[in-house]
Copies of this chain bind each other. A is one copy, B any other.
Amino acid sequence: MAERKTVPTMKDVAREAGVALGTVSKVVNGLPVGEEYRTRVNEAIIKLDYRINSYAKGLKATRTNTVAVLMPNLINPFFTSLVSAIGRALAAKGCRMLVYETDSDPGMEQANVILAEQQKVDGIICLSYNQNLKVSDGVTLISIDRYFGTRIPCVASDNYGGGMLAAEKLIENGCRHLAFLRIGTKLTNEPIKRKDGFIAACEAAGIEYTLKILDDGAPFSAFGDFLGEHYHDGKLDFDGIFCVTDSMAYLIKKMITEMGLRVPEDVQIVGYDGVQMFGDLDYTCSTIVQPVQAMAETCVDMVLNPDGAKNPSLVCLPVSYAYGGTTKA
C-alpha cells in the first residue's frame, strides 16, 4: 500500500501557530483578528502547506466575480499598462480586480495569495518571482511571463519572435555588428527567449554579435564598464544595440550620449515593451511593442474559464516594431 500523505487540517494550523481554532477560522474567513495572530496563522498556513479546501469548494459554488492581480510594482509603466488592460478586461466581464504589489518578493507574493484567497477570489493573475507559489484548490492561477510547469497556464508576448524582430530591424537599418544587453531574473521565464531569437536572426543574416548578460541585482554600472571595454578610437565595436527593456534602452542611451556618441547616427538602439511617454504619447525609444491588450484579455479569458483544465499551458502573442527616435527608421 502506498504511503498516504496526511492533509493538514485547520486544527494543525492552530497547533502550529499556537492559537485557538477560532482564530484560524477568522483569519481564513477574512474577519478581524489582532495583527500578530494574523501573521502567526498565515505563517503556519504557508509552513504546513494548508489548502483551504472547504472554503475553496465553497468558491466553486458561488463565484465572487473577483480576481486578484499580483504585480512586482505599479511604478514600471509596462506593469501598469498590464494592470490597466487586465482591469478593463475584467470589468467587461462584470468582475472586480484586487491589486497587490509584491516588490518581486517571493514571500510577499505567497502572503498576498493568502490574503486574496481570504477574500474568496475566483482566480489570480500574477507576474511572479516565486516558482513555488502555492494556491488553494479551486482557485485558478494564470502566470504572465514566468513558467511554473505545464499545469499553470503562462501568457507572454512572442519573446523569441520579438528578439528576432529587434535584430532584423537593426540590420535593416544598416547595422553590421550588434550587441545584446540584458539584466534580469535567472528563473525560467519567457523573456529569456528574446536572446535566442536575437541570436538566431544575427546568425541567419551572418552578422557579428556580442552578448552582455547580468543577473538581477547586479550594478547597472557594469554595462558602463562593458561599453568602455568595447570603445576604441572614438567608436564602439558595435553600431546597434538591443536592450531587453525600454527603461534599459533609456539608460544605455544616456551612457552612450555621455561618451560623446550620437544616437541613432553612431549607434542605434532598440528596446522592448512599447512604453509611451505619459502612457499614451510618444514611444520612449524604438521598441518591440508587447501586445498588452491581447495579453490581458487572454489572461482574463483563461482565469474565468470554467473548464480551466482545457487552458493551454503557454500562449505567446504577436509583437510589433515601433519607431521611437533611437534608430534610423
Is the CB–CB distance between B62 and A87 below 8 Å? no
Contact residues of A between 71 and 99, Cβ < 8 Å to B = 73-77, 80-81, 83-84, 87-88, 91, 94, 96-99
Is the CB–CB distance between B38 and A94 below 8 Å? yes
Contacts of A84 in B (CB 8 A): 73-75, 101
Main secondary structure of the interface of A (DSSP, over half): mixed
Q: Given A275-B278, A281-B251, A83 and B62 touching (CB < 8 A)? A: no
- In the bound complex, CA of A124 to CA of B267 (Å): 50
- In the bound complex, CA of A81 to CA of B284 (Å): 19
How many identical subunits does the complex contain? Answer: 2
Residue among B77, B87, B100 making CB contact with A279, cutoff 8 Å: B77
Q: Name the residue of chain B whose CB is nearest to the CB of A245.
A: B278
Q: How far is the CB of A68 from chain B (nearest CB, A)?
A: 8
- In the bound complex, CA of A101 to CA of B101 (Å): 17
The contact string, 1 if C-beta is below 8 Å from chain B, for chain A 8-47, is: 0000000000000000000000111001001000000000
Task: Judge whether A115 is part of the interface by a CB distance below 8 angstroms.
Answer: yes
Is the CB–CB distance between B88 and A80 below 8 Å? no
Is the CB–CB distance between A98 and B98 below 8 Å? yes
Contacts of A87 in B (CB 8 A): 74, 99-101
